[in-house]
Structure 1
Amino acid sequence: MPQPQPQRTPGIAYPPLPLPETGRDDDMATFQDWLQKAIPLAGELGITDMRREGDCLHWSLALAPGLNDKGTGFGGALAAQTTLAGWCWLTLWLRRRGLARSVVVAEASQRFVAPVTADYRLACFPADAAAGAALAQSLRAGGKGRIILRQTVFSGDTCCLDASGRYVVLPAANGRL
């Protein structure tokens, strides 16, 4: 039997997920469970699988929760998914480095190429191969950093959406996040 979700209160931060042991990756199922509690909308977006391969975060998604009146993927749901995937990519990147920091999206854009007509997959990755190294240097130098991430949505062999976002890592405040 599913357990009831804790009620979220506006203005009250959700407790962060403990960092993984040094040198270990996150358990993606644990991260996804925490994500759905920390950001309740995440539990409604149809994410069926989340995995990382190299510098790419992959999601598998069910179409049913995001259907529009035309029987295809609703653009707002797709935009929310791509934005959240970027936030997750950066949060997981920080966690692998032992950093518990706040991440925010500063800018996001989407280009809808074709309708999503079946379950689909989303990939999120840095827009530039050197972006991770540049972000790490920026965090060391000033405590704050930025990265541009790309997201693509494919239904079968068809690219349906190309998106990008600029995400910001906020400086640690008083030794916290």
Structure 2
Amino acid sequence: MSESLLRETEAYLHEQIPLTRAMGVTLESWDGTRLVLQAPLEPNHNHLGTAFGGSLSALATLAGYSLVWLMLGDREAHVVVRDSHIRYRHPVRGPLRAVCSRPDDETMQAFRQQFAESGRARLTLQVVIEHDGKACMEFEGTFVAMR
């Protein structure tokens, strides 16, 4: 994926979802299988100096949202989170880093076909917030794309 598409997507997030700007969210990388978003700890910490749970939740949701938006390739589509489940495992004491992996080809094909046929499709994604080589938070969310 080109650097320009990453920056375009980041600018879209900052424009459409102002919280992303306040959090300092950046799209670190996208290789077609893994999307990585990051945010600095400074604007996202709690009273203990670790990452605020709400910031972790927001970053994980944004990672899933962004992956759907990138995979769909339809800039007129709307993407929303339908439901999610989060498990906090360890505190994050440094930069926040969310990793969202693309589903397998069969799942993506079915998602795209459903969207093409009905203008609405949903996709369940897994996101992990990593720090110091540990999975600190696990997120599973179902996202809906619609025209």
Fold-level similarity (TM above 0.5): yes
Q: Does 1:116 align with 2:92?
A: yes
Once structures 1 and 2 are overlaid, which stretch shifts more, 142-151 or 117-126? 117-126
* Alignment TM-score, normalising by the size of structure 2: 0.89
Uncovered stretches (5+) of structure 2, i.e. residues with no partner = none
The structure with the largest alpha-carbon Rg is: 1
What residue number does 2:141 align with? 165
Larger fraction in strand: 2
What is the CA–CA distance in structure 2 between the aligned matches of 1:94 and 1:25, rounded to whole Å? 18
2:127 counterpart letter in structure 1? Q
- Percent identity, aligned pairs only, is 28
| 1:1-177 alignment runs, 5 A limit | 27-95=5-73, 98=74, 100-126=76-102, 130-170=106-146, 172=147
Question: The residue matched to 1:100 in structure 2 has which SS?
Answer: coil
Higher RCO (Cα < 8 Å, 6 or more apart): 2
* Alignment TM-score, normalising by the size of structure 1: 0.75
| Aligned CA distance change for structure 1 residues 26 and 166 (closer, same or farther; 3 Å) | farther
- Post-superposition Cα deviations, 1:30-68, rounded to whole Å, max 9, x if no partner, equal 221221111100101232443211222112321111100
What is the CA–CA distance in structure 2 between the aligned matches of 1:29 and 1:165, rounded to whole Å? 24
Larger fraction in helix: 2
